[in-house]
Amino acid sequence: MTHDQSFTNQKFKLVGSRVNRPDGVDKVTGRAKYGADASAPGQLVALFLRSPHAHAKIKKLDTSKAEKLAGVKAVITSADLPDHTAGAQLDVLENCMARDRVLYDGHAVAAVAAIDKETAKKALKLIKVSYGKLPHVTDVDEAMRPGAPLVREDIFTRGVDPKPTEPSNVCKVSTFGHGDIEAGFDEADVIIEKSFKTEQTHQGYIEPHACLASVGPDGNGELWVTTQGHYTYRTVCAALLGMDMAKLKVTSSEIGGGFGGKTHVWIEPIALALSRKANRPVKAVMTRDEVFKASGPTCSTSMDIKIGAKKDGTITAGSAHIRYQDGAFRGQWGQLGAMTAFACYDLKNVQSVGYDVLVNRPKVAAYRAPSAPMAAFGVESTMDLVAEAIEMDPVTLRIKNAAKEGTRASYGPTYGPIGIGPTLEAAKNHPHMRAKLKKNQGRGMACGFWFNFGGQTCTDINISADGTVNLTLGTVDVGGSRASMSLICAEELGIPYDQVKANIADTSSLGHNDTTEGSRGTFSSGMATIFAAREAIEEMKERAAQTWDIPVEEVEWVEGEARAIGQKNDNLPPLTLKDIAARAAATGGPIAGHNEVVADGAGVSFASHICDVEVDPETGGTRIIRYTVIQDAGKAINPDYVEGQFQGGAAQGIGWALNEEYIYGDDGRLQNAGFLDYRIPVCSDLPFIDTEILEIPNPNHPYGIRGVGETSIVPPLAAIGNAVSNAAGVRMTHVPMSPPRILKAIEEAEA
Amino acid sequence: MTGTLVNTTVNGDAVQFACPTDESLMDSLRDRVGLTGVKEGCGTGDCGACSITLDGELVCSCLVLGVEANGRNIGTVEGLADGDKLHPLQEQFINHAALQCGICTPGFLVAAKALLDKNKNPTEEEIRYALAGNLCRCTGYDKIVRAVQAASKDLRKKK
Ligand code: FES
Ligand code: FES
């Protein structure tokens, strides 16, 4: 069946209401089961031995003593794993377990499964590794210098002409844009050129990676795991271990935060391999130290931004060169960053270049709108400098250059209806903009963009005999999507919200669903739910027609019931969903609706943030005084949770802007792998975070949904950067703007 | 495993378990008593996900040894509801959408209850400082603070 995906502008009964989530009681009573909360009879405990070096050859690895220890049931090194050196999965498996050299502090070299933690700990101590240290590099700019230590010897930069003949740490150069930037800069009255840096941060989900793996000698396996994409984990783990996908059942536990960090496999393939070797269930849980060192934080960056404008505020050209460190494994982060850098603006001449650079740090993973916050920090800070130079209000400057419907985006496509203009207008008119500032306080604003994703999605609706409805979803619920999907399902069927029960299926019970990433959950599962419900409605209309013995064309579905249309059918009282469900056995059997779709047409999303800060000139400490998020949701299905996404993204951005950073020593080792020294914002650091939801429907979704999860982390670095710069009277160019950096900037400005 | 026998009271019930002397109470409660509502976020006292009360005092159970629970009174999130009646904090956390992923929620509920037991009418600032030992990465704390404010109002009305 083909479905009309376009926006219908229907009036909603349920969608848009603030309902309680169906998993709420489980989560406030401690009953909800997360990754580390499942156990199996006879389970073993897995622990990992990790490299203490940033870069070294593994000269010798001897596990024989550990294997002989009583209670140890399996030991795994890369020698036990298939060699994917030539294949697409090389990076993945080599990151899970080092092959012949370790590439970062924390890189796994061996794993053991034992009857309890004590025994496993003893076994790790019995493993002998002799390392031959190699020169390392952890800074992105240093990694690009000629003569820098090579993280890998087989990297020849892609995306440059001619193709290089020497290996380097630059994997890829990605260039986007259009027009003639040189001509554009020639037209400018002012040109601002500035360099910026951002440090590496971690998603900081409170739940560490955890799983329970069980594989038998018959090749059947099960994996219970905290993940954003259990289907993806199945695909990857099966490929890595040579298992049949259909024989590996992956169940996603409740997930204690992911923000992109639970889109890749880390310990899971190794837990499966240990279980297969021991023929016992194996539980593996990362410590917080391991999460910081050996999961996937986001990139640090360094960049040069140049913007030229006329005195009237017209931007004549913009260019960005942004260098992203990918850790020790190839990524696409430079490419994404280059695409997002100027996406908010309607520019005649624009060029953005992203560099993907290897260093001896953990493999970078996605972190909420990956790569966009850093690019926005550079561009939006420079926009404020342009505004200052031409003596124009920064919001007015942005409004004047904002992209609109029909604008050719800097990364290629032409925009449909979009929300950047409206969010900027809303910011300009917001009472926050007119609030009085006190001494040492400053205000800043910035805007941001994220693409939003669609992708493969599959959903089932099954109607029970009593008329209650099971909605079976395959997109992991990372923050309340079961409620939103139930609302959508109830809306389509015309029944109360409470009549629907949403579940997340395991990989054996429903077809493939792409990972919940890219803000795709509500957009794509919402679409599949709508179409599945419509299919169920068609079926129910058939059943009603059969009951009434009239052609199905004379049946319509209104407000949760089948109605016979036309005067001749006046004597037929409506049949409700419950009536039809009760008679299902007699009219053709169970009633279901199903949909599988590649959800196309994700709607781009924009946000504008306003922030007031107070900077203590003595200590360099910054307090957030007031914060406002304005974002286009397309359509807010459950506004409480849309606001929650806005607030959560802003809070993460605040941490990134002011505090959070990976600190590496000269030895290439991470010095602050814990929540004490890597400090994320706590309750007393923040004010209430005000939100304003705009709804500019996405024409490619029946309900107008765009997706809301990520854009909220894009503007904060720049909004806070602009606010701090205004409060301290000196331009901040290095994130996080920690007290020492602010003091140094003030001192340098005074000198 | 060589274990020490511990006799303790958990949420009002007598409980007995054996654990190694260096095992944290968090691990004992999760792995031996089966109370997985006690969450591990760090194991080093920095996140509050493992918050419990020990003789009425709020503690991080990852910083207490299992053997120290002998003869003491432990309260966890599993003991908050009164039969089928949720505690006002639990109700208001749901009503205010004060949880997204929910992993921090048990710790916040236990910490917020410890606050409201001592201070019936805390200010916003008092709430924020009382909960500063509990990390939440999803919500930005906005809706959590509002939920605690609403629950404190409910509790005052009840009295
Ligand atoms: S697990 Fe105890 S404070 Fe984090
Ligand atoms: S709701 Fe996810 S950490 Fe608080």
Question: pLDDT per residue over A602-619, tens digit each?
Answer: 889 999 999 999 999 999
Are residue B111 and residue B130 in the same domain, yes or no?
A: yes
Q: Which ligand is nearest to the CA of B64?
A: 1
Alpha helices in A45-188 (DSSP H): 64-68, 90-96, 117-126, 140-144, 181-187
| Phi–psi pair at B52, nearest 5 degrees | -140, 175
Q: Count the domains in chain B.
A: 2
Q: How far is CA A625 from the centre of its chain?
A: 28
What is the per-residue pLDDT for A3?
Answer: 77
Q: Is the CB of B156 under 6 A from ligand 2?
A: no
Angstrom distance (rounded) from CA A238 to CA A606: 38
- Domain stops at, among B29, B52, B78: B78
Long-range residue pairs from A488-491, CB within 8 A, at least 24 positions apart, any chain: A488/A15, A488/A526, A488/A529, A488/A530, A488/A533, A488/A637, A488/A703, A489/A461, A489/A529, A489/A532, A489/A533, A490/A14, A491/A12, A491/A13, A491/A14, A491/A15
Angstrom distance (rounded) from CA A8 to CA A11: 9
Which three-class secondary structure state does DSSP give residue A21?
Answer: coil
- Mean pLDDT throughout A299-320? 98
C-alpha B37 to ligand 2 mean position (Å): 14
Question: Looking at the partner chain, which of A652, A686, A689 has a beta carbon nearest the beta carbon of B137?
Answer: A652
Which residues of A fall within a CB distance of 8 Å from B100?
257, 478-480, 641, 644-645, 648
pLDDT digits (tens, 9 = 90+) for A581-600: 999 999 999 999 999 999 88
What is the per-residue pLDDT for A518?
Answer: 78
Question: Looking at the partner chain, which of A25, A118, A689 has a beta carbon nearest the beta carbon of B142?
Answer: A689
Q: For residue A397, give the H/E element and its range.
A: helix A394-401
At B140, which CATH number? 1.10.150.120
pLDDT at B151 over 80: yes
* Nearest alpha-carbon partner for A310 in A438, A156, A191: A191
- Mean pLDDT throughout A316-329? 98
Chain A: nearest CA to B19, how far in angstroms?
11
Which residues of A fall within a CB distance of 8 Å from B20?
118
Q: Is the CB of B102 under 6 A from ligand 2?
A: yes
Minimum mean pLDDT among A92-106, A233-247, A518-532: which range?
A: A518-532
pLDDT at A679 over 60: yes
- Domain stops at, among B46, B78, B110: B78
With cut-offs at 50, 70 and 90, classify the pLDDT of residue A185. Answer: very high
- What helix, strand, coil percent values describe chain A, rounded to 5? 30, 25, 45
pLDDT at A516 over 90: no
Supply the residue whose CA is at minimum distance from atom 3 of ligand 2. Answer: B136
Minimum mean pLDDT among A339-343, A525-529, B121-125: which range?
A: A525-529
Q: Which ligand is nearest to the CA of B40?
A: 1
With cut-offs at 50, 70 and 90, classify the pLDDT of residue B48. Answer: very high
The residue ranges of every structural domain in chain A are 5-32+454-599
Are residue B74 and residue B9 in the same domain, yes or no?
A: yes
A270 CB-side CA count, 13 A: 31
Q: What is the mean pLDDT of chain A?
A: 96
> How much of chain A exceeds pLDDT 70, in percent?
99
Supply the residue whose CA is at minimum distance from atom 4 of ligand 2. Answer: B136
Q: For residue A233, give the H/E element and its range.
A: helix A230-241
Chain A: nearest CA to B54, how far in angstroms?
18
Burial label for A117, CB within 10 Å (0-12, 13-18, 19+), is middle
Chain B: nearest CA to A617, how far in angstroms?
24
Are residue B8 and residue B71 in the same domain, yes or no?
A: yes
Which residues are paired to B82 by β-bridges? B85
pLDDT at A242 over 70: yes
The DSSP string of A288-321 is HHHHHHHS-----EEEEEEEEE-TTS-EEEEEEE
Q: Is the CB of B147 under 6 A from ligand 2?
A: no
Angstrom distance (rounded) from CA A110 to CA A124: 8
Q: What is the mean pLDDT of chain B?
A: 97
Which three-class secondary structure state does DSSP give residue B54?
Answer: strand
- Mean pLDDT throughout A431-448? 98
Q: Which of left, alpha, beta for A506 (phi over 0: left; psi -120 to 50: alpha)?
A: beta
Are residue B36 and residue B65 in the same domain, yes or no?
A: yes
What is the per-residue pLDDT for B103?
Answer: 98
Alpha helices in chain B (DSSP H): 25-27, 88-95, 105-118, 124-130, 142-158
Does B50 reside within a domain?
yes
Fold classification of A5-32+454-599 (topology level): Aldehyde Oxidoreductase; domain 4 (3.30.365)
pLDDT digits (tens, 9 = 90+) for A125-170: 999 999 999 999 999 999 999 999 999 998 999 999 999 999 999 9
Most B CBs within 10 Å: which of A19, A21, A206, A688, as the mutation test of the B interface? A206
pLDDT at A2 over 70: no
What is the per-residue pLDDT for B1?
Answer: 65
Q: Are strands B51-54 and A128-133 parallel, antiparallel or unpaired?
A: unpaired
Q: Which domain holds residue B109?
A: 88-158
- Mean pLDDT throughout A444-461? 94
**How many CB pairs below 8 Å do chains A and B form together?**
187
Which residues of A fall within a CB distance of 8 Å from B109?
28
- Residue A194: count other Cβ atoms within 10 Å of its Cβ: 15
Most A CBs within 10 Å: which of B28, B101, B127, B146, as the mutation test of the A interface? B101
Angstrom distance (rounded) from CA A127 to CA A98: 15
Does B47 reside within a domain?
yes
* Shortest CA distance from B83: residue in chain A: A29
Q: Is the CB of B104 under 6 A from ligand 2?
A: yes
With cut-offs at 50, 70 and 90, classify the pLDDT of residue A658. Answer: very high
The tokens for A626 are 């007031």
pLDDT at A1 over 60: no
Atom nearest to A256 CA in ligand 2:
2
* Nearest alpha-carbon partner for A605 in A576, A636, A560: A636
At B12, which CATH number? 3.10.20.30
Burial label for A100, CB within 10 Å (0-12, 13-18, 19+), is exposed
A29·B46 Cβ contact <8 A: no
Q: Which ligand is nearest to the CA of B109?
A: 2
Q: Is the CB of A644 under 6 A from ligand 2?
A: no
- Domain stops at, among B78, B100, B122: B78
With cut-offs at 50, 70 and 90, classify the pLDDT of residue A661. Answer: very high
* Nearest alpha-carbon partner for A76 in A282, A250, A277: A277
Does B14 reside within a domain?
yes
Are residue B125 and residue B144 in the same domain, yes or no?
A: yes
C-alpha A34 to ligand 1 mean position (Å): 16
